[in-house]
Amino acid sequence: MNIMSSPERTWKTIESGPHTYKEALHPVVINNYGKWKYHEIPRPGVLKHVGESGDTLFTVRAGTPRQDTVDMVRQLCDIADRYCDGHLRFTVRNNVEFLTPNGENVEPMIRDLEAMGFPVGGAGNCVSSVSHTQGWLHCDIPATDASGVVKSMMDTLYNEFKHMEMPNKVRLSTSCCSINCGGQADIAVVVKHTRPPRINHDHLSMICELPKAVARCPVAAIRPTVVNGKRSLMVDEAKCICCGACFGACPAMEINHPEHSKFAIWVGGKNSNARSKPSTMSIVAHNLPNNPPRWPEVTDAVGRILTAYKAGGRPWERVGEWINRIGWKRFFEETGLTFDEDMIDSYRHARTTFNQSAHVRF
C-alpha cells in the first residue's frame, strides 16, 4: 500500500520489508551458494569453509558491544573494504564477521581488529558474546542495564571468548526483566522481581485501561477497587507470583524496585536439536543484588559455573547435558551454589518436574 498524507512530504512509502541481500554477498559466496562441503576452525575466531568446487572462504569473527555507534560501524566498514571487498555480516549473537577468500588477509585483519579493540574469537567451543537487551538505556520496564552487566561479565570472560577450551559452545544471555527478551541460554542472567507491585493509584486511574491490567495477571491476583473516589486496582500479595506482566500492561503497577528487584541465574537452556531435544533453563541462583556498575556477585556466580563446566564437561556436552550426566546435586556442589526450596517448581506443569524415578545421585 502506498501512503502519502503529510502535505509537504514528497516521498511515497515503499513497503519493501527486509532489505535485499544478494548485493551483500561476496562473489565467492554467490558462486558456492548452497554448495558448501565442509568447514574447519583453523584457529580461534577463524572459520574456513570449503566448497564442493574446491573454493575456500575464511570468516573472521570479532566481538562488538552490540550497542554501537555510527563511528564504530564505519570502522568495521573500513576493515571490510580493506580486506573483504566490502563484505561483512553480523551474527545472530551480535558478533561481526568478515568474509574473504584470501587466506593471507586473515592475519593482518586480525591485527587491525584487535588494535581497534574488537576481540577476535567467539567461534567453536568457547564463550561467545552475550545475547542481551536494552535495559535502562531505552526500555520502559527494565530493572537493570543489561549492557552494563554484559560488559562486566565479558571483561572477566574475555579469554574464554578468544580461545577454544570449553567442552562445547557456551551461549550466555542477559535480560533486564523477567520477560527475558535475551532468550534461553546455557547460562542466563535475568532480573527476578521478589516483591509484588506497588500500585501508583494516581497514575493508574489516569493512564491505564484497568480491565487490561486485570486480564494480564496469570494468577488472578489483581482486583478492582476504589481509591480516593476513583476506580483503581489492588493486588492480592498472597497470590502474586511477581511476574511483572501487569507492569507491561500498565506502568502504574510498579514492580521494579532498587532493592527488591534482584538477579537470578539460570542454566541449561539449549535451542539446538543436537543430541538431546531443545531444553529450557533451570534456576540455580537468585536473590543476587542488582549492583551497578560491575555487578560482582553476578559475574562471580557465572564464573563459578563456567569453571566447573570447563573442568568437568565431556566433549560435545552443552552445559545442560553436562548437568544431566553429573546430576544437579553435583552441579550445586561443584559450583558452590545452593539449591533451595524456591527452586522447586510450583507453577503450571510443576508435577512433570518431580523426579519420577529412583534415579538418584550421591
Partner 1 sequence: MGIVINGTTIETDENGYLVNLEDWTEEIAGQLAEGEEIEMSDEHWSLVKFLRNYYDEYQIAPAVKVLTKAIAAEKGMDKKEASEFLYGLFPKGPALQACKVAGLPKPTGCV
Partner 2 sequence: MEENKGASACGSHGCSHSNGGCGEKFLNPTPMLDELEKGPWPSFVSGFKTLAERTKKPMLRGVMDQLEYSYNTKMGYWKGGLVTVDGYGAGVITRYSMIKDKIPEAAEFHTMRIQPPPGLHYNTAMLRELCDIWEEYGSGMLTLHGQTGDIMLQGIDEANVQECFDKLNEKGWDLGGAGAGMRTAVSCAGPARCEQACYDNLELHLHALRHFVGQLHRPEWNYKIKFKFSGCPNDCTNAIMRSDLAVIGTWKDAIQVDEVAVKEWIEEKGVDALVNQVINLCPTRAISLEDGGMKIDTRDCVRCMHCLNAMPKALSPGKERGISLLMGGKNTLKVGVNMGSLIIPFMKMETEEDREKFMELVEEIIDWWDDNGLDHERIGETIERVGLRQFLDGVGLDVDINQVSRPRDNPYFKAKY
- Which positions touch ligand SRM (CB under 6 A)? 39, 47, 91-93, 95, 122-124, 128-129, 131, 133-134, 138-141, 168-169, 171, 179, 181, 183, 248, 270-272, 274, 318
92 binds a copy of itself (CB under 8 A): no
The residue count for binding partner 2 (CB under 8 A) is 175
Of 129, 133, 7, 5, nearest in space to 61 by CA: 129
Please report, as a single letter, which amino acid is at residue 296: P
**Residue 246 binding result from partner 2, a copy of itself, ligand SF4, none, given CB thresholds of 5 to 8 Å by partner type:** ligand SF4
Please report, as a single letter, which amino acid is at residue 118: F
Report whether the peptide linkage leading into residue 293 is cis, meaning its omega lies within 30 degrees of zero: yes
Task: Out of 151, 203, 216, 286, name the contact with ligand SF4 by CB under 6 A.
Answer: 216
**Residue 273 binding result from ligand SF4, partner 2, partner 1, none, given CB thresholds of 5 to 8 Å by partner type:** partner 2
Of 51, 55, 93, 100, nearest in space to 79 by CA: 100
| Bridge partners of residue 173, in order along the sequence | 131, 188
354 binds a copy of itself (CB under 8 A): no
20 binds a copy of itself (CB under 8 A): no
325 binds partner 2 (CB under 8 A): yes
- Whichever of 3 and 77 has its CB closer to partner 1, that residue is 3
Please report, as a single letter, which amino acid is at residue 279: S
Smallest gap from Cβ 9 to ligand SF4, in A, equals: 32
Cell of 207: 493512564
Sign of torsion over alpha carbons 105, 108, 111, 114: negative
- Whichever of 206 and 220 has its CB closer to a copy of itself, that residue is 220
356 binds a copy of itself (CB under 8 A): yes
Cell of 124: 567453536
C-alpha distances in Å from residue 110, one per residue of 43, 46, 51, 107, 116: 11, 9, 23, 5, 10
Q: What is the contact surface with partner 1 in residues (CB under 8 A)?
A: 1, 3, 5-7, 206-212, 231, 248-251
358 binds a copy of itself (CB under 8 A): yes
252 binds ligand SF4 (CB under 6 A): no
Task: Out of 228, 351, 354, 362, name the contact with a copy of itself by CB under 8 A.
Answer: 351
**Residue 222 binding result from ligand SF4, partner 2, ligand SRM, none, given CB thresholds of 5 to 8 Å by partner type:** ligand SF4
Using CB under 8 A as the binding rule, the residues of this chain from 275 to 314 that contact a copy of itself are: 277-278
Q: CB count, 10 Å around CB of 37?
A: 12
The burial of 222, by beta-carbon neighbours within 10 Å (0-12 exposed, 13-18 middle, 19 or more buried), is given as: buried
Of 177, 196, 179, nearest in space to 240 by CA: 196
Please report, as a single letter, which amino acid is at residue 7: P
| Bridge partners of residue 46, in order along the sequence | 43, 60
Smallest gap from Cβ 279 to partner 2, in A, equals: 8
245 binds partner 2 (CB under 8 A): yes
Report how far residue 172's alpha carbon sits from residue 189's, in angstroms, rounded to the nearest whole number: 8
- Give the per-residue contact string, 250-279, with a copy of itself (x = CB under 8 A; - = no): -----------------------x---xx-
Report how far residue 303's alpha carbon sits from residue 269's, in angstroms, rounded to the nearest whole number: 17
Smallest gap from Cβ 58 to partner 2, in A, equals: 11
Report how far residue 142's alpha carbon sits from residue 163's, in angstroms, rounded to the nearest whole number: 33
Rg (CA), the chain: 24
Cell of 245: 506482566
134 binds ligand SF4 (CB under 6 A): yes
The residue count for binding ligand SF4 (CB under 6 A) is 29
State the residues that interact with ligand SF4 by CB under 6 A: 133-135, 139, 141-142, 175-177, 179-181, 196-197, 216-217, 219, 221-222, 235, 240-246, 253, 255
